[in-house]
Amino acid sequence: MCGIVGAIAQRNVAKILLEGLSRLEYRGYDSSGVAINNEVGVRAHRAVGKVQALKDKFEATPLDGKIGIAHTRWATHGKPTENNAHPHFSGDDLAIVHNGIIENHDKLRNQLKTQGYVFKSETDTEVIVHLIHQELQSEPDFLQAVKNALKYLEGAFAIAVTLNDQNHRLVAARKGSPLVVGIGIEENFVASDQLALLHVTDQFVFLEEGDVVEVTRDGVTIFDSQDVIQERPVHVFNHNVDATDKGEFRHYMMKEIYEQPKVIAACLEGRISENKVLTDCFGADSSFLKNVENVHIVACGTSYHAGMVAKYWIEDLANLPCTVEVASEYRYRKVAVPKNTLFLTLSQSGETADTLAALRKAKELDYLTSLAICNVPSSTLVRESALTLLTNAGAEIGVASTKAFTTQLTALLITAIAIASEKGALSAIKEAELVNSMHSLPAHIDEALKQDVAIKKVSERFANKHNALFLGRGPMFPIALEGALKLKEISYIHAEAYPAGELKHGPLALVDEDMPIISIVPHNSMLDKLKSNLQEVAARGGELYVFADKDAELQNAEGVIFTEVLKVDEILEPIVHVVPLQLLSYHVAVVKGTDVDQPRNLAKSVTVE
Ligand code: HGA
């Protein structure tokens, strides 16, 4: 989603801002812009499309100055046009960039219009800059004028603002959208996430809800939601230099698919011994594991699919009822909370707006405790949850989530086993068996990746397809959902997933020779049932793509395009068998020539509702 970068330095900030925007590209956006202040005034460039288009403008007409703000926009209010791209201005001197949605923008726009303000864009953002301008008419202090204006805003925002006769400071604020401060040497920065600033600093302060910050070259002053000055801890980011580098790979997505053995090992590290889950991985107080009687999982998108797999594990291993719900639904309904229910959220970024809102709602309800399974230690979700299990996947840049998903599954399996064990639902022998299996996960994924070439070949058959149907049973049904989501996200093929048993209740009507049906057929107790479902498809001329192990004896079945997958313990099947589907969607997207890492209309960290 939208990305913000702001900088104040003793050197020209143009390059810093443009590099920051490039580093935010992974979040998904449709246009970008920069405003830079100097003695002459504020000048801006804005461009639709890639950041490169903005860089081209800088090439043609360089801007320079020692303070500036920059933005990648993912349009929510108003089309992705140059006119709607940020920064937005009030008068000639006051500039703003904004991430979020101002919910009462209509009302504010009408009020401002009656006071003579002329709007140049269709964005909700423009009301903020005019409100600040209006405050400046009676409040000469820039910082105070921003604080005053924020009081009128409803909704979510992170903003950075500059005023040209105040070039010694920029003002930024956050409420509902992420913002970090980067601390440099005689230069300081703000950005939507720390990745945007790793080229200039490794020291960060994470702003809290309601914070307003004044950033000068020499320091940073943070005011909390009560307008009290706060010292917040400085975190040193121990980043992996490779995180924003594609290495030998053509796309981040492929790099991240191939990182899975390594990051799953990192996710398991310190969480399991030879034959047990180490319950202190949830923090000092793991008493919830014994006391939990129900689990509510709330998440969005791919994380929601991970939650759906976990439901099978939690009910099967721990014999506890578990519900899984998308956060945007959960947050707006009346929820009945049974006694001793664990509230479990899943989010790669930990900044997903709906998931955060769901957590805040849950904290008002009578839950046992809240646990976040998340990839970003400094995220709002982690900071606001009582307990955390980090997935340790490292920075995920590709919009289509891959390694974040398989590490979430790994963390969820750890959680399910820990609960089952502490509740006495799992014998020590069974726990040892499961944990032993988990130790072989990285090696299994390595093995699964060896099918890359075969899957690439299969993908060529999808070049002219417009639809696809994924089928799965049991915990492989959410994996079918995830396979369909991956395919639609990056190749724009309309894809749906069904529990295989639902086929004849509707989707069978779609099956003809143009409809590819993709099915992962693990060698488990559902094999024979699934084989019957596949017969139903074959009988209607559907093109069947089957991913199964040798023993499933489907390699020579009529009308079947067979890809062999590894035979693994049943509990690991969802984690291992999603890999061929990730590879399939990747190669189909490459065949179709789409933008794999930044698919159209999508954003990585969904920080707006
Ligand atoms: N509402 C603003 C900013 C959108 C945003 O934050 N997207 O992530 C706009 O539409 O310009």
Nearest by Cα to 170 from 214, 222, 129, 126:
214
Ligand 1 within 6 A of 156 CB? Answer: no
Ligand 1 within 6 A of 125 CB? Answer: yes
Paired sense of beta strands 180-183 and 203-206, if any: antiparallel
Among 311, 465, 531, 604, the active-site one is 604
Which DSSP category does 332 fall into? Answer: T
Atom of ligand 1 nearest to the CA of 76: 10
Ligand 1 within 6 A of 176 CB? Answer: no
Spatial contact of 482 and 607, defined as CB atoms under 8 Å apart? no
Nearest by Cα to 440 from 564, 242, 576, 303:
576
Nearest by Cα to 582 from 561, 567, 564, 596:
596
Residues paired with 206 in a beta bridge: 180
**CATH annotation of 3-237:** 3.60.20.10
To the nearest 10°, report the CA torsion of 192, 194, 199, 204. Answer: 120
Atom of ligand 1 nearest to the CA of 2: 8
Residues 17-67: tens digit of each pLDDT: 999 999 998 888 999 999 999 999 999 999 999 999 999 999 999 999 999
Which pLDDT score is estimated for 540?
80
Q: Mean pLDDT throughout 293-322?
A: 98
Spatial contact of 303 and 396, defined as CB atoms under 8 Å apart? no
Distance CA 299, CA 392 (A): 18
Ligand 1 within 6 A of 372 CB? Answer: no
Residues 202-261: tens digit of each pLDDT: 999 999 989 999 999 999 999 999 999 999 999 887 655 446 678 889 999 999 999 999
Shared fold status for 3-237 and 448-609: no
Among 2, 281, 300, 322, the active-site one is 2
Distance CA 186, CA 162 (A): 18
Which pLDDT score is estimated for 600?
82
What mean pLDDT is reported for the chain? Answer: 93
CA–centroid distance, residue 362 to ligand 1 (Å): 27
Ligand 1 within 6 A of 100 CB? Answer: yes
CA 315 to chain centre: 27
User: How would residue 534 be classed by pLDDT, with cut points 50, 70 and 90?
Assistant: confident
Ligand 1 within 6 A of 80 CB? Answer: no
Q: How far is CA 523 from CA 211, 315, 474, 559, in A?
A: 54, 21, 12, 20
Atom of ligand 1 nearest to the CA of 603: 8
Ligand 1 within 6 A of 76 CB? Answer: yes
CA–centroid distance, residue 455 to ligand 1 (Å): 38
Ligand 1 within 6 A of 101 CB? Answer: yes
Cis amide bond preceding 87, omega within 30? yes
Sign of CA dihedral 393, 397, 402, 404: positive
Distance CA 413, CA 419 (A): 10
CA–centroid distance, residue 318 to ligand 1 (Å): 43
If you write DSSP's letter for every residue of 337-356 in order, what string do you get?
A: --TTEEEEEEESSS--HHHH
Paired sense of beta strands 341-347 and 294-299, if any: parallel
Nearest by Cα to 24 from 7, 1, 46, 58:
1
Distance CA 311, CA 287 (A): 21
Residues 423-454: tens digit of each pLDDT: 999 999 999 999 999 999 999 999 999 999 99
Distance CA 369, CA 341 (A): 8
Least confident segment among 313-322, 367-376, 593-602? 593-602
**CATH annotation of 247-439:** 3.40.50.10490
**N- to C-terminal Cα separation, the chain:** 11
Atom of ligand 1 nearest to the CA of 608: 8
Q: Mean pLDDT throughout 525-554?
A: 80
Each domain of the chain, given as residue ranges in start order, spans 3-237, 247-439, 448-609
The structure tokens listed for 470 are 């994924």
Which of the listed residues 46, 76, 153 should we mutate to test ligand 1's pocket, taking the one with most ligand atoms within 8 A of CB? 76
Which pLDDT score is estimated for 240?
56
User: How would residue 525 be classed by pLDDT, with cut points 50, 70 and 90?
Assistant: low
Which pLDDT score is estimated for 558?
75
Ligand 1 within 6 A of 353 CB? Answer: no
The H or E element spanning position 155 is: strand 155-163
Ligand 1 within 6 A of 155 CB? Answer: no
Whether the per-residue pLDDT at 166 is higher than 80: the answer is yes
Return the CATH class of domain 448-609. alpha beta
Query: Angle 82-87-92 (CA atoms, 0-180°, nearest 5)?
Result: 105
Q: How many CA atoms lie within 13 A of 368 on its CB side?
A: 20
Q: How far is CA 392 from CA 185, 272, 572, in A?
A: 30, 14, 19
Ligand 1 within 6 A of 73 CB? Answer: yes
CA–centroid distance, residue 149 to ligand 1 (Å): 18
Ligand 1 within 6 A of 276 CB? Answer: no
- Name 207's Cβ contacts closer than 8 Å, sequence gap at least 6: 172, 174, 179, 180, 181, 213, 222, 232
Distance CA 111, CA 113 (A): 5
Ligand 1 within 6 A of 75 CB? Answer: yes
**Which residue do the tokens 């019957």 mark?**
532
Which pLDDT score is estimated for 463?
87
Q: Mean pLDDT throughout 524-542?
A: 75
Q: How far is CA 444 from CA 435, 570, 590, in A?
A: 14, 13, 25
Which DSSP category does 81 fall into? Answer: -
Query: Which residue owns the Cα nearest ligand 1 atom 6?
Result: 99
E runs forming strands in 9-92: 31-38, 41-48, 67-73, 88-90
CA–centroid distance, residue 161 to ligand 1 (Å): 15
Q: How far is CA 73 from CA 24, 34, 251, 442, in A?
A: 10, 11, 22, 38
CA–centroid distance, residue 33 to ligand 1 (Å): 13
Q: Mean pLDDT throughout 271-282?
A: 93
Nearest by Cα to 510 from 452, 572, 467:
467
CA 214 to chain centre: 29
Which of the listed residues 97, 99, 105 should we mutate to test ligand 1's pocket, taking the one with most ligand atoms within 8 A of CB? 99
Residues 328-355: tens digit of each pLDDT: 999 999 999 999 999 999 999 999 999 9
CA–centroid distance, residue 99 to ligand 1 (Å): 5
Atom of ligand 1 nearest to the CA of 78: 10
CA–centroid distance, residue 387 to ligand 1 (Å): 31
Atom of ligand 1 nearest to the CA of 84: 11
Least confident segment among 112-116, 268-272, 495-499, 554-558? 554-558
Atom of ligand 1 nearest to the CA of 75: 10
Is there a catalytic annotation at residue 2?
yes
Distance CA 508, CA 504 (A): 5
Distance CA 395, CA 374 (A): 12
The structure tokens listed for 139 are 């409040």
Paired sense of beta strands 188-191 and 3-8, if any: antiparallel
Which pLDDT score is estimated for 533?
75
Q: Mean pLDDT throughout 10-16?
A: 96
Distance CA 132, CA 146 (A): 5
Which pLDDT score is estimated for 377?
86
Which pLDDT score is estimated for 46?
98
CA–centroid distance, residue 414 to ligand 1 (Å): 37
Distance CA 564, CA 99 (A): 45
- Name 602's Cβ contacts closer than 8 Å, sequence gap at least 6: 28, 399, 489
Distance CA 27, CA 264 (A): 23
Residues 167-213: tens digit of each pLDDT: 899 999 999 888 999 999 999 999 999 889 999 999 999 999 899 99
Ligand 1 within 6 A of 30 CB? Answer: no
Q: Mean pLDDT throughout 138-156?
A: 96
Whether the per-residue pLDDT at 580 is higher than 90: the answer is yes
The H or E element spanning position 361 is: helix 353-364
Which DSSP category does 380 fall into? Answer: H
CA–centroid distance, residue 26 to ligand 1 (Å): 16
CA–centroid distance, residue 80 to ligand 1 (Å): 10
Q: Cβ-count burial of 501 within 10 angstroms (0-12 exposed, 13-18 middle, 19+ buried)? A: middle
Is there a catalytic annotation at residue 267?
no
Ligand 1 within 6 A of 99 CB? Answer: yes
User: How would residue 7 be classed by pLDDT, with cut points 50, 70 and 90?
Assistant: very high
Distance CA 585, CA 452 (A): 11
